[in-house]
């Protein structure tokens, strides 16, 4: 396969086509004019489509979300001479009643200011602080205008990525056995449901394996894959030995 704008932007979703047309134009600008091009934050699904269609682009891309395990990541195209310097800022938000607010409350308040979702990265809530990763070009506007989240008054300040404090996450483990290393069996174990519901999650595009949307129930895993089930969380799959009945031991760290 070669460079093809039409194949890269083709999608049954018109908004996705518009997004990918913009991404292709960024890649072309970088390739043809040696320009540094930073774009928007992409969702996990959009990143998956980008990975699948990357062979149609005129040059390679880079993704970064502010920290290693970020879910939403900014796309960029860089000439060979350039080192990445992503225009990402951290909006730190404080309020005495942080425990009353959710991820949805913070996102809704930002979107209510007219900020587009593509300008927002991850939202990280710790014990006493909410840190929002934003495109730097809207960070000052967000800081100056965000005075309430939900019913709570808030104060906001802009900082660099060096200030980002990620909450300490204690790993928990899901263990069990499966008859085969098929994706639907692993997802069923992860979401604690039957294979039929797992199959529905997969067919609806809610399951990702190593960042790529996985649509086949019978996809076989080998161990070490990072799976993500939208609305249920993420985990790393590892296989052990077999039981006396030939079932495979599975551990999912999440």
Q: Is residue 146 part of a domain?
A: yes
Name the domain boundary from 19, 45, 77. 77
Contact between 165 and 129 (Cβ < 8 Å): yes
Name the domain boundary from 57, 77, 97. 77
Are residues 143 and 193 both part of a single domain?
no
What local confidence, expressed as pLDDT, does residue 167 receive?
Answer: 79
What local confidence, expressed as pLDDT, does residue 186 receive?
Answer: 96
Classify residue 212 by burial, with Cβ atoms within 10 Å: 0-12, 13-18, 19+: middle
Q: Which residues of the chain have pLDDT under 50?
A: none
Q: Is residue 82 part of a domain?
A: no
What local confidence, expressed as pLDDT, does residue 69 receive?
Answer: 87
Total domain count, the chain: 3
Put the strands of the sheet holding 120-125 in their side by side order.
120-125, 130-135, 88-94, 155-159
What local confidence, expressed as pLDDT, does residue 166 receive?
Answer: 87
CA dihedral 111→210→50→166, nearest 10 degrees, is 30
Are residues 181 and 147 both part of a single domain?
no
Structural domain harbouring 236? 173-253
The pTM assigned to this predicted structure is: 0.87
pLDDT in tens, 123-150: 999 888 999 999 999 999 999 999 999 9
| CATH number of residue 218's parent domain | 3.10.290.10
Name the domain boundary from 77, 99, 131. 77
What local confidence, expressed as pLDDT, does residue 1 receive?
Answer: 60
């Amino acid at each position: 396969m070669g460079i093809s704008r039409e194949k890269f932007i083709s999608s049954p979703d018109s908004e996705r086509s518009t997004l990918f047309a913009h991404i292709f134009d960024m890649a072309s600008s970088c390739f043809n004019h040696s320009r540094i091009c930073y774009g928007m934050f992409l969702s996990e699904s959009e990143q998956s489509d980008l990975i699948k269609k990357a062979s149609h682009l005129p040059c390679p891309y880079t993704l970064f979300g502010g920290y290693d395990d970020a879910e939403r990541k900014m796309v960029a195209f860089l000439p060979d001479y350039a080192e990445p310097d992503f225009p990402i800022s951290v909006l730190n938000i404080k309020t005495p009643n942080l425990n009353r607010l959710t991820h949805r409350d913070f996102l809704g308040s930002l979107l209510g200011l007219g900020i587009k979702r593509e300008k927002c990265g991850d939202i990280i809530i710790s014990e006493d602080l909410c840190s929002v990763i934003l495109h730097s070009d809207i960070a000052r506007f967000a800081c100056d205008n965000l005075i309430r989240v939900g019913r709570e008054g808030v104060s906001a300040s802009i900082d660099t990525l060096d200030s980002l404090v990620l909450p300490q996450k204690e790993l928990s483990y899901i263990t069990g056995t499966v008859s085969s290393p098929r994706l639907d069996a692993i997802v069923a174990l992860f979401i604690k449901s039957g294979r039929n519901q797992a199959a529905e999650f997969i067919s609806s595009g809610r399951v990702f394996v190593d960042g790529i949307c996985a649509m086949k129930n019978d996809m076989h895993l080998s161990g070490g894959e990072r799976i993500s089930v939208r609305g249920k969380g993420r985990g790393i799959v590892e296989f052990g030995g077999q039981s006396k009945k030939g079932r495979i031991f599975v551990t999912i760290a999440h």
